[in-house]
Amino acid sequence: MLWLLGLLLKRAQRRKPGFRDALAEMRGLDWGIATEDLAIARYYRMSPSGIETGPGLPVDLDLELRFADVDSAVKILRRPTQRAFLDGMMAGTVRLVGDSGDLQKLQKLLRHI
């Protein structure tokens, strides 16, 4: 699912002007998704010039979304709304590492997928 997300992000950058404009406005975003035990982890480096994705979580990311387990990650990532993330944080199944403003930027970009 995380590999497919990278594919969808690259496709959105090629095909959707709104995605490109939003990404250019924020001048890029480096973020990652992982389970707490890091058994599953993937990063995304997004800039106006392109999107790079790979396994693992580098230490220099702007934002990390850490999920308690795979099931909670799938549930939230299927509908990545602000409400879903807030509910996950309140329940303790999602942990945000980084600035919450970056999460809002990410959600703005994900609307274009």
Domains of the chain: 2-110 (3.30.1050.10)
Q: Determine what percent of the chain is predicted with pLDDT higher than 90.
A: 65
How far apart (Å, rounded) are the C-alpha atoms in residues 47 and 28?
A: 4
The model's pLDDT over 1-45, given as tens digits with 9 standing for 90+, comes to 889 999 999 999 999 999 999 999 988 899 999 999 999 999 999
The answer to whether the CB of 7 falls within 8 A of the CB of 93 is: no
Q: Which residue has the tokens 């396994």?
A: 55
Query: What global pTM score does this model have?
Result: 0.86
Neighbours of 83 (CB within 10 A): 8
How far apart (Å, rounded) are the C-alpha atoms in residues 30 and 47?
A: 8
